[in-house]
């Protein structure tokens, strides 16, 4: 299978790895971008949009990127911090008074951004369809009690972080999250990314291909945080291919884009807060990202993780292929990955439609990122 796009010779290992994975069937369709200080040294795509391999993945193909969406949502919050509209150390209830209910009056904005708020999902009963109803979903989160006490212990806010941060965005700007992303981020940067997907773009979406079923003990944990998080609600991967999902505003899970557009937006972190004359952040706010908020076994994912304010930080036990340097990152269910490395002004972005097992990274993401660093990225 031909891999399309541009790739500098020294990064040919990235192109070769993508081509090999498409040929073997490990990859269906995907795109990869490596941006170094505004120069795309890798900008490639290949494979197919559909499991029958009848429609090629093209330059303008987009797909649901799952929790990679969270990185864009966190960037929105950081922009509001930069503008003085949010204070990461202020209680959420200062901006969203209803959130103070059930003992949440001392939970701060940074706790939502670092997965330490104790509100990592919805109290059941709660369905995937309920997530589509913004007022219902946010009012339920505001009313419920936190599931654990420590604000320095993370429990991955798998499906609800976009509603939590998105409601803050709405309260201080008057705009729904998806509109803020369109008007203040994707539009000014010319990035082909959106929360949800406009119907006019559905024809170029690569449907996601669900991952293998989880192991039988996936939702077993002593504190039941994992079970409560991933069953509140239990999201089926195929839901991402439905009209209702695409019409919803869910900043944790339903962003649509490709490697180029995600890199375009997130490279603002690697490039000091400004991309081609569009300033989104100041350096002081970028520094906030790297202030460690938690470091230990995540109560929802059950693996060691480190979180700064808005992003994951390197944790060699869990993601050994991300160097233990001043790097921030996150990815999406099934394997997509976005990595920002400000010290070398490098951004790595990988988006695909065939989901692998697990929440954090994948064998394919590891392969491409290792090839990037081997080339000097």
Provide the token pair at 253.
């899970």
- Note whether 93 and 106 are within 8 A (CB): no
- ∠ CA(205), CA(208), CA(209), 5° rounding? 140
* Distance (Å) of CA 222 to CA 146, 156, 227: 17, 16, 10
The pLDDT tens digits along the chain (377 residues) read: 689 999 999 999 999 999 999 999 999 999 999 999 999 999 999 999 999 999 999 999 999 999 999 999 999 999 999 999 999 999 999 999 999 999 999 999 999 999 999 999 999 999 999 999 999 999 999 999 999 999 999 999 999 999 999 999 999 999 999 999 999 999 999 999 999 999 999 999 999 999 988 765 555 676 699 999 999 999 999 999 999 999 999 999 999 999 999 999 999 999 999 999 999 999 999 999 999 999 999 999 999 999 999 999 999 999 999 999 999 999 999 999 999 999 999 999 999 999 999 888 899 999 999 999 999 75
DSSP lists the bridge partners of residue 108 as: 91
pTM metric for this prediction: 0.97
**CA-CA-CA-CA dihedral for 1, 361, 353, 37, to nearest 10:** -70
DSSP per-residue codes, 330-359: EE-TTS-EEEEEGGGTEEEEEEESB--SSS
* DSSP notation for 261-318: HHHHHHHHHHTTTEETTEE---HHHHHHHTS--EEEE-TTT-SEEEE-SSSEE--TTT
Q: Using DSSP bridges, classify how beta strands 62-64 and 39-47 pair: parallel, antiparallel or unpaired.
A: unpaired
Adjacent-strand bridge partners of 66: 254
Tell me the CA end-to-end span of the chain in Å, nearest whole number. 26
Domains of the chain in sequence order: 3-374 (3.40.710.10)
- Do 299 and 120 meet the contact criterion of CB atoms below 8 Å apart? yes
Tokens of residue 93, six digits: 């209830």
Task: Look up tokens 């891999």; give the residue.
Answer: 3
Contact, 61 vs 49, CB < 8 A?
yes
């Amino acid at each position: 299978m031909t891999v399309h796009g541009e790739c500098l010779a020294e990064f040919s290992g990235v192109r070769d790895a993508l081509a090999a994975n498409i040929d073997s069937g490990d990859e269906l369709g995907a795109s990869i971008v490596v941006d170094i200080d505004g120069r795309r040294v890798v900008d490639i795509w290949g494979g197919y949009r559909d499991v029958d391999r009848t429609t090629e993945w093209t330059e303008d193909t987009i797909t649901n990127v799952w929790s990679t969406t969270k990185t864009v949502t966190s960037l929105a919050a950081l922009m509001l911090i930069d503008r003085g509209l949010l204070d990461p150390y202020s209680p959420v209830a200062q901006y969203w008074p209803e959130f103070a209910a059930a003992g949440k009056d001392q939970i701060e904005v940074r706790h939502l951004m670092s997965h330490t708020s104790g509100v990592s999902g919805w109290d059941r009963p709660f369905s995937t369809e309920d997530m589509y109803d913004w007022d219902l979903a946010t009012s339920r989160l505001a009313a419920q009690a936190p599931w654990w006490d420590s604000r320095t212990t993370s429990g991955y806010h798998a499906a609800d972080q976009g509603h939590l941060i998105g409601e803050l965005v709405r309260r201080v700007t008057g705009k729904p999250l998806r509109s803020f992303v369109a008007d203040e981020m994707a539009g000014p940067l010319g990035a082909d990314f959106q929360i949800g997907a406009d119907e006019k773009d559905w024809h170029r979406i690569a449907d996601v291909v669900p991952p293998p079923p989880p192991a039988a003990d996936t939702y077993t944990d002593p504190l039941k945080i994992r079970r409560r998080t991933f069953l509140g609600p239990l999201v089926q991967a195929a839901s991402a291919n439905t009209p209702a999902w695409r019409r919803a505003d869910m900043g944790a899970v339903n962003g649509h884009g490709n490697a180029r557009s995600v890199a375009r937006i997130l490279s603002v972190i690697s490039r000091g807060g400004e991309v081609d004359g569009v300033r989104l952040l100041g350096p002081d706010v970028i520094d906030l990202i790297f202030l460690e908020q938690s470091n230990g076994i995540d109560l929802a994912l059950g693996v060691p993780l480190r979180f700064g304010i808005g992003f994951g930080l390197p944790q060699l036990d869990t993601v050994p292929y991300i160097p233990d340097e001043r790097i921030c990152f996150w990815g999406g269910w099934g394997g997509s990955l976005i990595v920002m490395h400000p010290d070398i002004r490098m951004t790595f972005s990988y988006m695909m439609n065939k989901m692998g097992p697990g929440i954090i990274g994948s064998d394919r993401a590891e392969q491409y990122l290792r090839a990037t660093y081997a080339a000097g990225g």
